Amino acid sequence: MHRFAYHTAESYSAAAKALAKRPEAWAKGAGLDLLDLLKERLIEPSDLVSLHEVRTPPAKGLLPAHTTLAELGRDEGLAKSFPALMQAAAEAATPQIRNRATLGGNLAQHTRCPYFRGSDFACYKRGAPVCSAQEQGAFNRYHAIFPRGGCASAHPSNLAPALIAGDAIAKVVSADGSRDVPVAELYGDPARGKWSDTTLAHGELIESVRFEPTPLTRRSVYKELRERQSFDFALASVVCALDLREGKVHAVRIVCGAVAPTPYRATDAEALLVGKGLDEAQITKAAAAVVAKATPLSGNKHKVVILKRLVERALRELNQ
């Protein structure tokens, strides 16, 4: 077993300081993502800094990064203020995993692409010149239909699309202080050798996430399709949020998961809906627009169809 030093921290900023001092150190939430990487010897950290002991006092409208998916999934307040976030958390993984998995870890988790996760394979994110999933004959049934930046992995997080749809802001701490980052800006284009899907620098940690309950968050819904009903990641997912005023779409968010290397916001489809009434024809048009620019791989054309259907279902449900 690879040996590392193990540290605990009282606060996120203390943890950030501990990380900043050690270029080969990794932060650990519940470790559900991290331990798999360790076991496969994909990473060999010098130190692990555990965030598991951090407790921040509850504050209204603030979700500490250590909030578990289980807590989010049964939050009565969220059921009213942001149902899509609650649903996204409740649908993830399994009860055991949700009891441990943290919000921070969920947002910063790594893709489940088997070429990334398996030491037997070459992976662009891990520094190889090519993306194995895009090679001829590759197994890419679960991959991106919007590959980007030379990578075709699918982003695994259920929570990120919801938080992006809700215009949520992450408080990011580092040894030098803290800054506010819209959750949407936590994610950037993949690049060769860039392991993480986030834009966070080494030593930066998500301390909390907040969102303003708005008509958008209140009228929001999460839809996903997975092959297995538990212990599985989504084939495709979508969060739709709708602000209808006087029969017209005042604002709308359509953010998709598991279809691109990062959460995928369908701005074309959003634009098409704004200012107009919402009916079946508009819904069909918008769903088609969501996937209009899809460039599926050899083995995942079905994800285009599935995503389109999920968008239709989500919008229909919100329109009721």
Partner 1 sequence: MSNEQLRLGFEGFELKAEANVPDGAPRPWDLDSKLRVVGTDVPRLDGEDKVTGRARYSYDQRFPGMVYAGILGSPHARARVKALDTKAAEQLAGVLHLEPLGDELYYAGQPVVGVAAVSEEVLDDALAAIRVDYEVLPHVVDTDAAMAPNAPQAVPRRGGDGNVVQGRRDTSGDGDAKVAAAHAAADVIVEREYRTQVQTHSCLETHGTVCRWEGDQLTCYASTQATFAFQNTLAQALKLRPQNVTVITEHMGGGFGSKFGADAWDVFCARAAKATGRPCRLMLTRKAEHLIAGNRPDSIQRCTFSASKDGKLLGAEVHSWGTGGVAPSASIANPAVYAFEAQLSDQHHVLTNAGAARAFRAPAHPQGFFALEGMIDEVAKELGMDPLELRRKNDPHPVRQRQYEIGAEAIGWGRRKADGAGEGPLKRGLGVAAARWKHNGRPGCSVRCRIGKDGSVFVASGAQDIGTGTRTLLALMVAEELGLEPSAVEVRIGHTTDPYGHGSGGSVTAPSIGPVARQAAYEVKGQLLRAVAERLGVEAGALALEGGQLTGTDTPLPFAKACALLPVDAIEATGVGTRELFSMPRFAPEVAGVQFAEVEVDVETGLVRVVKVVAVQDCGLVADPLLARSQINGAVIQGVSYALFEQRHLDPKTGAMLNPNLLDYKIVGALDVPEIVAIPFSVANGISTTGMSSLGEPPAVPTAGAIGNAVANAIGARVRSLPITPDKVLAALGEV
Ligand X SMILES: Cc1cc2nc3c(=O)[nH]c(=O)nc-3n(C[C@H](O)[C@H](O)[C@H](O)COP(=O)(O)OP(=O)(O)OC[C@H]3O[C@@H](n4cnc5c(N)ncnc54)[C@H](O)[C@@H]3O)c2cc1C
Stretch that binds ligand X, among 114-122, 123-131, 198-206, 263-271 (CB under 6 A): 198-206
Q: Which of 52, 126, 141, 218 binds partner 1 (CB under 8 A)?
A: 141
The reply to whether 120 sits near partner 1 by the rule CB under 8 A is yes
Neighbours of 32 (CB within 10 A): 18
Ramachandran class of 52: left when φ > 0, alpha when ψ lies in -120 to 50, beta otherwise: alpha
> CB–CB of 238/257 below 8 Å?
yes
Where does residue 290 rank: exposed (0-12), middle (13-18), buried (19+ CB within 10 A)? Answer: buried
> CB–CB of 202/19 below 8 Å?
yes
Stretch that binds ligand X, among 96-104, 125-133, 185-193, 273-281 (CB under 6 A): 96-104
Q: Which of 9, 18, 31, 78 binds ligand X (CB under 6 A)?
A: 31
Shortest reach from residue 42's CB to ligand X, in Å = 11
Neighbours of 205 (CB within 10 A): 26
Shortest reach from residue 180's CB to ligand X, in Å = 14
The reply to whether 195 sits near partner 1 by the rule CB under 8 A is no
The option from ligand X, partner 1, none interacting with 67 (CB < 5 to 8 A, set by class) reads none
**260 vs 273, which CB is nearer to ligand X?**
260
Largest distance between two CA atoms of the chain: 62
The reply to whether 1 sits near partner 1 by the rule CB under 8 A is yes
Helix (H) or strand (E) holding 47: strand 47-50
Task: Provide the 3-class DSSP secondary structure of residue 224.
Answer: strand
Cα–Cα distance for residue pair 107/89, rounded to 1 Å? 12
Q: Which of 231, 277, 280, 295 binds partner 1 (CB under 8 A)?
A: 231
Shortest reach from residue 196's CB to ligand X, in Å = 7
Shortest reach from residue 165's CB to ligand X, in Å = 15
Q: How many CA atoms lie within 13 A of 165 on its CB side?
A: 36
The option from ligand X, partner 1, none interacting with 174 (CB < 5 to 8 A, set by class) reads none
The reply to whether 237 sits near partner 1 by the rule CB under 8 A is no
Stretch that binds partner 1, among 13-21, 72-80, 115-123, 238-246 (CB under 8 A): 115-123
CA 61, chain centre distance (Å): 20
Shortest reach from residue 111's CB to ligand X, in Å = 11
Per-residue b or e along 234-252, where b marks 16 or more CB atoms closer than 10 Å to that residue's CB:
bbbbbbbbbbbeeeebebb
Cα–Cα distances in angstroms (integers) from residue 301 to residues 140, 145, 236, 297, in the given order: 10, 8, 12, 7
The reply to whether 206 sits near ligand X by the rule CB under 6 A is yes
**How many residues touch ligand X (CB under 6 A)?**
32
Question: Under the rule (CB under 8 A), what is the footprint of partner 1?
Answer: 1-2, 41, 94, 112, 114-115, 118, 120-121, 132, 135, 137-139, 141, 225, 227-232, 235, 299-302, 304-306, 309-310
Question: Under the rule (CB under 6 A), what is the footprint of ligand X?
Answer: 26-34, 51, 65, 69, 92-93, 97, 101-102, 104-106, 108-109, 156-159, 200, 205-206, 231, 233-234
